[in-house]
Amino acid sequence: MTDTTQVKAAKDVVKDLQAEYYAEANRAHEEGKLVAWVTSIAPREFLEAMDIVTIYPENHAAAIAAKKGSMEMLDIAESMGYSIDICSYARVNLGYVEAGDSAAGKVPYPDLLFCCNNICDTVTKWYEILSRRLNVPLIMIDLPFSHFDQPQEHTIDYIVGQFENAIKQLEEITGKPFNYEKFQHCLELSNQASTLWKESFEMGKNKPCPFNGLDYFNYMAQIVCSRGNEKAVYFFQLLKDEIAAKVAAGEGYIQDEQYRILWDGIPFWYNLRVMAKSLKDRKAVQVASTYTENWALTYDTTDLRSMAKAYMGNFTNREFEFRFNNMCRIIREYSCDGVILHSNRSCKNQDFAMYELARQVTKATGVPVAIVDGDQDDPRAFSEAQYETRIQALFEMIDQRREAK
Amino acid sequence: MSKVEEILSELGYVAHHPARMVEQWKKETGGKAVGIMPIHCAEEVVHAAGMLPVGMWGGQTSISLAPEYLQSFCCSIMKAVMEFTMSGAYKNLDAIICPETCDTLRVIPLMMRKAIPQTPIIGVVLPDNRKIDAGIKYTAAEYRSIVKQLEQITGNPVKDEDLQNSVEIYNEHHAAMMEFFKVAVDHCDIITPYNRHMVIKSSYFMPKEKHTVLVKALIDELIKLQPSQFKGHKVVVTGIMSEPDELLEMFGKYGYAIVADDLAQGSRQFRTPAPADDDPYIRLGKRLANFEGCSCVYDPEKLRGKLLKQLVDETQADGVVVLMMKFCDPEEYDYPFIKQDLEEAGIPHLYLEIEQQMESSEQVQTRLQAFAELLEERKN
Ligand code: SF4
Ligand code: SF4
């Protein structure tokens, strides 16, 4: 971190941090530090406590797509026999393993893998493959899907048992005793960062919305990869202050915003431009996203059971009523006029509840919903013309609803 | 009709008439029936509760209602399941148990709850870390939780002895099935791919103790016969299932015999016995811990290729057919390593994409024919 970052906008700072992050990771790897490949909502505090460098294949795959490099990786994976129907993050990453370089640069290869399936079962399959392909140990944190509104006690017992097991595995892999003191510190920092993260995006409730919600897809890299260390706290404090100042000054991303939109799902990384443009042209602003909410993760830092519960609580790991109530809540709290749901070819866990969710949410809130087809990393599954048609229809519905009022 | 034919025809009837079997059971016993979705849920818990466990592996139906819930890129089994759910085909089931096997099966039970709110949909989530102590205890606790939910439906408590008894009955059934598969290898002319499947499929729609009797009788009859001099192609199949029926008929038509399977609907259900323990729930936990080689069970070593090689060696098979269920993530992730392992072992394999609702069989025919020719050439 350089001092000049202090005067920069959060948007630029995050770019620097991300560049530094990869450079540092590559350097640390050369210096013999252990590197783990980790899933996006894994309890990385365990790794931070042991000074292990963490790399996020999902983030890297997103960055590769944003730099228009995903097709190259997808081709490699598909030529190995990986079906075009499986998650494109996995395909891009499995292609990267063979290629060793990408449009978004290199990341060090892992000494261990740390997989947490609270987001999907896809990552379990994907990390199994990495473990065999790269011949490195896999620490699996299995956070069971919850069919109940509150997790059952035996499920929490199981997770805590796995945390304890993971600690043992980490001690074996690093050859060092687990650093409980540092761990405690990481838990606290993690909670601080998550709280700041949440406080910052919740300012999207203001009218006009002080930020472009799409920027949160970039900020996300930090909450994913640095939650649990000082950097994240530093960055999210900066972000929060910046947004708070805008709110105080009554400043909006679009001063005379006309529409407030909730986005559900992962963006099309290879075409953020079209997402941004289709909103901006209509003076619409993305005020919230169900995706960013996933890292608003806080828990009692003195209780592993509380941590277990927090980490299994993201919406894709929960039953329908939670997903539904959560979406209705966001629509209400952020005064959304419309919702865009991304029917993402990669992400079956989110997709297959989507049609029902769309029906129920519209019924309960009256807010129109558009379902757009696509994929986060595979541009072949996306049609710009079709996207534009669906978005157009959404705004027409919003207008009709306003007229009817 | 020979005794063998009689038994096969009875099993074939059962396999094709699940609804009638449920009705018959209800009439005869006054008991209830519980649907069990793929892939891994110990049926023993339903058996112990005095109910009939009914396998729910989709089926052949045209898909017209399911798109209300599901995008086109959902696997055909779950499309069929949703279709049947919505059309009322499951109305005779008093509850449905749905294990979380893959991303698709995280969501399907949630949608079933919407489509048929009157039927209890019981979710079960088995552990990935199934081998550690905490994992075995968790499996046991998940099954205890199912049993509690079933007790509410029947109004009768399930005692540990009941479950112990059911585990024994299932161990015996599974052993009989494995024995049948072994004996069948010597009778490929009678136990065609289609007949073999009927023996498996029927087990999902009748009480296991009855099925065991029939399978044992079938084994006894087969043993009495001269082993056949089978001249066709012996293959091992792997995948979720080997349906629809036309697919199996094509196997027969092109001279294939299935000498072993690694199908989710087949031997993956039968090959691992529940070890002894005083606590029957722990027995089920330990069985899951010991089980290997399924795309839907955590396996960082990716042992499936090795296991297939072993099956090929044991049965002297000529090759492997990978029956790839279209849009099935777990199987699709497993394929490249299976391919690599088989190639390294010099075992030829055919990759065949299948759907339960196969619209055109031409491509499958061509590929089966070409693979048969390849196997023939290798023999010469
Ligand atoms: S995009 Fe969906 S399926 Fe792929 S890794 Fe992320 S959550 Fe899992
Ligand atoms: S995706 Fe595969 S494992 Fe999952 S329900 Fe479909 S066939 Fe079964």
ipTM passes above 0.95:
yes
Q: Contact at 8 Å (CB) between B107 and A152?
A: no
A18 close to ligand 1 (CB < 6 Angstrom): no
What is residue A2's predicted lDDT score, i.e. its pLDDT? 43
- Please determine, for residue A1, whether its predicted confidence score (pLDDT) is greater than 70: no
What is residue A8's predicted lDDT score, i.e. its pLDDT? 85
Instruction: Give the CATH number for residue A111.
Output: 3.40.50.11890
- Please determine, for residue A336, whether its predicted confidence score (pLDDT) is greater than 90: yes
- Find the mean pLDDT for residues B295-306: 96
Q: Which chain A residue lies closest to B327 (C-alpha atoms)?
A: A85
- Find the mean pLDDT for residues A38-53: 97
State the CATH class of domain B16-160. Answer: alpha beta
Residue A81 lies in a domain: yes
Q: Does A168 touch chain B (CB under 8 A)?
A: no
What is residue B93's predicted lDDT score, i.e. its pLDDT? 98
What is residue A7's predicted lDDT score, i.e. its pLDDT? 62
The Cα diameter of chain B in Å comes to: 65
The nearest CA of chain A is from the CA of B152 a distance in Å of 17
The Cα diameter of chain A in Å comes to: 68
Contacts of B342 in chain A (CB under 8 A): none
Confidence tier at A4 by pLDDT (50, 70, 90): very low
- Find the mean pLDDT for residues A208-216: 96
- How is chain B split into domains, by residue range? 16-160
The nearest CA of chain A is from the CA of B66 a distance in Å of 11
Residue A45 lies in a domain: yes
Residue A101 lies in a domain: yes
pTM above 0.95, yes or no: yes
Name the one residue in this structure whose structure tokens are 């048929």: B116
Helix residue spans in A227-286 (DSSP H): 230-248, 272-280
Q: What is the pLDDT of residues A340-353, one digit of tens each?
A: 999 999 999 999 99
A346 close to ligand 1 (CB < 6 Angstrom): yes
Q: How many residues does chain B have?
A: 380
Contacts of B73 in chain A (CB under 8 A): 85, 345, 348, 351
Residue A30 lies in a domain: yes
Q: Contact at 8 Å (CB) between A138 and B118?
A: no
Confidence tier at B1 by pLDDT (50, 70, 90): confident
Residue A14 lies in a domain: yes
The nearest CA of chain A is from the CA of B80 a distance in Å of 14
**Total domain count, chain A:** 1
Residue A366: exposure state from Cβ atoms within 10 A (0-12, 13-18, ≥19): exposed
Residues 122-161 of A with CB under 8 A from B: 122, 124-129, 131-132, 138, 140, 142, 144-147, 152, 154-155, 157-158, 160-161
Contacts of B70 in chain A (CB under 8 A): 352, 355
CA-nearest of A271, A265, A276, A283 to A370 is: A265
Contacts of B142 in chain A (CB under 8 A): 154
* A·B CB contacts under 8 A: 158
Confidence tier at A254 by pLDDT (50, 70, 90): very high
Residue A89 lies in a domain: yes
Confidence tier at A5 by pLDDT (50, 70, 90): very low
Q: What is the pLDDT of residues A376-397, one digit of tens each?
A: 999 999 999 999 999 999 999 9
CA-nearest of B85, B84, B145 to B118 is: B85
What is residue A31's predicted lDDT score, i.e. its pLDDT? 93
- Find the mean pLDDT for residues B5-24: 98
CA distance B262 to B265: 9
Q: Which chain A residue lies closest to B106 (C-alpha atoms)?
A: A349
Q: What is the pLDDT of residues B205-247, one digit of tens each?
A: 999 999 999 999 999 999 999 999 999 999 999 999 999 999 9
What is residue A3's predicted lDDT score, i.e. its pLDDT? 44
Domain span at residue A61 reads 10-179
Confidence tier at B380 by pLDDT (50, 70, 90): confident
